[in-house]
Chain A
């Protein structure tokens, strides 16, 4: 019997539901039980695995009986590993052991819900709506709880009125090179082929991978990121493909690998250039056959996962040096996207400074309005070897240090002031056409100056929007009001120009 739900309503909506409930009830173990009974109903677990939300089945003491695959992906633990463990240790919820709403659900017999967050596998706080539904077996009298976790990140962003500046979440940029990336994004999201993202460190490969995942049909399923350079070979194999109990010393229980945890979703292998050669063979097999043997297992595991890889290395060169398998390179290099370094993204530095300034000022409750022209000039001419990540850290530093309303030159980290500035942009049209060449070519003197390179930021410009508006007006005046010509001058598409004109009430 399910308490807290409209049983009649449930009945005619889904006729099979009473059967599921009956099965759940029969799996509710005695208080000292371990949930082994769940194994008798593998089809029930399959049903739970089909739900694109995290689900945990808890006993009356709130110890875990089973978790579905989605929750395995969120937490990084397998159901077998966590069986018998208190839910709060596994889910890492904001309410920890003070689970008033769970107790309320147990005492009232009614479904209760609350909003909060959990700390996910990738050390990311995920806003979640928890719904606890108590169940009671009339036969044995043992109580249990179904705890469902729904990711409400998007809902919270909408509520907070956060405006997406870029065409995709987390990606910002108006430069022609970023526009090219944004134009590619829907294409990359619509297909299921492997994607290789190249670019220097700090250019946003992770963000792009996540954006592709969220825009794809797999967006509701897990996105799992694994850094191939962070773990030694032996651990990495277990991390990627999992292991069975007894596979090696210390393997006390079966453990799902990241490929299994990403089932239905996307796995992002960052620093793929650091993947050891023996694992490259295994990865190639997985890509070809969509199945693999976990470490020490005799049983093949089938997976339906999309692969996105990222690297700051030149894979073609690595292939030449024998450090990377050519066949795997071709398999990964189906769709390729290169993220330009910040020094090649004309105009984006200012946009990003504004964005980070607003973000950190709000986060740290500071009343910082703008950045001084001198500090801005320094930052726009700085080479940014760490790219967007470095710029973000510089602004965070400045916001922390600044006590007034304007970030001045002396609020910037000292190393920024000591570093030599990047040479001026020159030599139009010398950008290498081959993406492989483009990846390694980071010399600033081969940059193509964009048509919308700002030749002098107006002193009275309060923010990026003012500058952009004036650029549009300038281009329209230059082209005699011809929008197609103006778009060319700005190096934008006509649609982008139209959208911007509408945004600034110029249309």
Chain B
């Protein structure tokens, strides 16, 4: 299975529609196979991101906030979405691999702010 995580630096991007970077990891027998890929998108777009997920045959998307229309569309396309997650992408991926990630989870390690406003 493939997992797509929306990124903002090392954390899960707060909004799906404003995401410009994603991480795609392939999971085989409960382990990450190969190096996860980071893809930079030409610009933020929910539609493009949905198309990418379908094209890449992603099974699970982990993201922050997502609009209902896109959430329902992805569900219709048989892609599981775990949304409203706050925290580091790496930790979210680890929890998702052991099926222990719930929507609206705030992961204990707080989001990093390498670009403090």
A: residues with CB less than 8 A from B are 61-62, 76-77, 81-82, 84-86, 88-94, 96-99, 102-103, 118-119, 121-125, 235, 250, 252-253
Contacts and interface: CB of A to CB of B under 8 A. Distances in A.
Interface in B55-87: 64-68, 71, 83-84, 86
Contact of B14 (A76, A89, A125): A89
A94 B18 contact: yes
A125 B16 CA distance: 12
Contact of B106 (A82, A88, A99, A102): A82
B29 interface: no
Given A76-B84, A119-B15, A252 B64 contact: no
A89 B67 contact: no
Contacts of B64: 89, 92, 119
Contact of A122 (B8, B11, B68, B116): B68
Contact of B111 (A85, A91, A99, A121): A85
Contacts of B31: none
Contacts of A86: 110-111, 113
B57 to A, nearest CB: 23
30 contacts: A62-B117, A76-B104, A85-B86, A85-B106, A85-B110, A85-B111, A86-B110, A86-B111, A86-B113, A89-B11, A89-B64, A89-B86, A89-B111, A90-B86, A96-B8, A96-B13, A96-B14, A96-B18, A97-B8, A97-B115, A102-B117, A103-B117, A119-B15, A119-B67, A121-B84, A122-B68, A123-B65, A125-B67, A250-B102, A253-B106
B108 interface: yes
Contacts of A250: 100, 102
A240 to B, nearest CB: 14
- Secondary structure at the A interface, as helix, strand, loop or mixed, is loop
Given A98-B117, A119-B17, 17 more contacts: A77-B106, A81-B106, A85-B86, A85-B110, A86-B110, A86-B113, A88-B14, A92-B65, A96-B13, A96-B15, A97-B115, A99-B117, A119-B15, A119-B65, A119-B66, A121-B84, A250-B102
B44 to A, nearest CB: 10
The interface centre, meaning the residue of A93, A97, A103, A118 with most chain B CB atoms within 10 A of its CB, is A97
A86 B67 CA distance: 21
Nearest to A62: B117
A244 B59 CA distance: 33
A102 B102 CA distance: 31
Contacts of B100: 250
Nearest to B85: A89
Interface in B13-65: 13-15, 17-18, 64-65
Contacts of B15: 92, 94, 96, 119
A337 B76 CA distance: 30
A123 B14 contact: no
Contacts of A82: 86, 106
A246 to B, nearest CB: 14
Nearest to B84: A76
Contacts of A62: 117
A123 B71 contact: yes
Contacts of A77: 104, 106
Nearest to A85: B110
